[in-house]
Copies of this chain bind each other. A is one copy, B any other.
């Protein structure tokens, strides 16, 4: 139990017990343990399996012509990496770990059967894709319109929210094992400037970061700094049912 994929998909809609069991079985089948900074799948490749992050932290990224790296999304436990790989001939971006992680592999055919036979699961996966799209759109605003300060605040706040929703965050803090260079690659800033903005967030008492352990000391303040609007995550059920799992986990944040 406490399977992160189940938790992730249930952010949208409660699943019947049988669906849960199916998902748990699938994700506990083949798992690979990766260190930090290893690739799950590379741009241009095609994999017969689809991958799910079970623990740790990964990201979608692309290496640019000039050698730079753009991180387009963080993947937290429960996030499917490439649920749609069997539709496309090749990945148009790479997926790599940022921290030591456990990645589950589900055969593409199994996945297809699952999507065809269990409409509830198919719906949940589709919804997940839409949430991903929402996150991407928000990141465009982030990169295009917000200044460096809000951008960093935004990124941290979103990660806090998503980690909370999937249940791997205590009240006080959370593990977010990224370097400032990683943050720079995700925000389109330079590491130097990321450093300065983090200092400002700390000076203002919004966050504490010691090593890989982050603590958001003033969630409301951080949210203000980020100019945050949570609607795009479509955590509707959670908001509407404050008694639900996810609702409790996100209390006071959205």
Contact = CB atoms under 8 A, between A and B. Distances in A.
A43 B140 CA distance: 17
Given A65-B227, A87-B126, A133-B132, A187 B93 contact: no
A88 B234 contact: yes
Categorize the interface residue count of chain A.
Answer: 35 or more
Nearest to A229: B65
A137 B227 contact: no
Interface string A44-73: 100000000000000010101100101010
Contact of A89 (B62, B87, B234): B234
Contacts of A109: none
A92 B232 contact: yes
Given A87-B127, A92-B231, A141 B236 contact: no
Contacts of A188: 143-145
Interface in A64-86: 64-65, 68, 70, 72, 84
Nearest to A129: B129
A220 interface: no
A133 B135 CA distance: 10
A94 to B, nearest CB: 11
B145 A64 contact: yes
Interface string A106-140: 00000000000000000100110110111011011
Contact of A140 (B44, B70, B87, B126): B70
A22 interface: no
A254 interface: no
B92 A137 contact: yes
A253 interface: no
Nearest to A130: B84
A44 B231 CA distance: 9
B92 A141 contact: no
Contacts of A88: 127, 130, 234, 236
5 contacts: A43-B231, A72-B141, A136-B136, A139-B140, A140-B140
